[in-house]
Structure 1
Amino acid sequence: MSSMLIIALDFPTAKQALEFIEPLSPNDCILKVGLQLYVASGPEFVKTLVAAGYKVFLDLKFHDIPNTVAGACQSAADLGVWMINVHASGGPVMLDAAANALSTYDKPPLLIAVTVLTSMNQIQLEATGVSGEPEHQVKRLAALTANHGLSGVVCSAQEAEMLRAEHKDEFLLITPGIRPTGSDQGDQQRIMTPEAAKAVGVNYIVVGRPITQAKQPLSVIQSINLSLK
């Protein structure tokens, strides 16, 4: 079984990211490239990771008019990445455009949608005009995502049990905000340990700073992988 662990490469430069992964193996983890690193290093860096044998989650959270998102999804697929994401709040036409854009590929990347960012709590969500608790909005957006044929959603592990009860096992749940026991919470509001996340039906966990800022990152990775067996 491949690792459930996705490491967020939240580094400002490709040089720092490559130094970090130098002692790692594609068997240890999946790598996530987000906005900061992608803007700094571009598609060539992503191609380098793919060429090294890593599964890459290109986490750019596309949210734009349907035609623009469709083109962005195709450009991402051309890089050979394993997974890409869009914002579910972009709406049904945008979701369809993204899915259709990948339908011509023999081996398209997984396409998932972001529900509610794990840094958002109820107060912040209401400030955007969405009333109610975050889990209610997550539920609505996950249903929208599933109805339009995407592979799964990004959600908080605290909503995973609810979503797993409502969606088939094939519908992927990818959860950031994962913190091994004893880790600093940082700016995440809705967090959970790796073991607890797996227990409620999460397919992949995303961990960043507790690994990338650790004194012995490989040791933390191995400990997390062991806890998920």
Structure 2
Amino acid sequence: MMAPKPGDLGVLEASIGHTFSNLDLAQAALTHISAAPARSETYQRLEFLGDRVLGLVVAEMLYENFAAAEEGELSRRLADLVRRESCAEVAREWGVEAHVRLGEGERQAGTSAKEAILADVCESLIGAVFLDAGYAAAKAVIVPVFEPRMRAPRRPLRDPKTALQEWAQARGLETPAYRETARTGPHHAPEFTVAVVVTGFAPANAKGSSKRTAEQAAAQAFLAREGIDNERG
């Protein structure tokens, strides 16, 4: 009968869908610098490698699934899928937090729950799988968790101001202009009202707690009113 793996690693292997031949790789992928006697025994180098492997697999998925998309759209989709927040979400789905090895001080501070650490460990595990069994194995780990995110993005691929500017430029219109039309509320917590003006169209107005958020909201209001797709324009 096979001996249990350290730290109940078998549970994590079942979650990510890969059984390690080299357990040292798995342990390194889960080890924060605060728990390692030497930097070479932490997840940092594996995270570097896993970041590149993840990018390649996701780029391949996008290339195969969005045949009509141009390079700019593919790049935006790639950036959205491999961003820190996405990797941290995947790490949570895998149940990584319970397996991260931390120094006592970091563990008491709740470091394992920090988004940056979870994102790094997601990528370090991918790097470890790649070294353990190659590209196909890494792809088999990545696709089940990143493909659903590819098919149903959880956030707009472009911020509203960028989307509106690209839409206007594509039609030969002047760059949209933003004008503050009102400012209300106390000095320490003002509320701004901003109008976005596009030549040939009625202005769209929105409010926000800063000029920037009001401008983004106004751009989104314009896009929604005119039925403009925030992903493609």
TM-score by length of 2: 0.21
Larger helix proportion, structure 1 or 2? 2
Point out the structure with max Rg over C-alpha: 2
TM-score by length of 1: 0.21
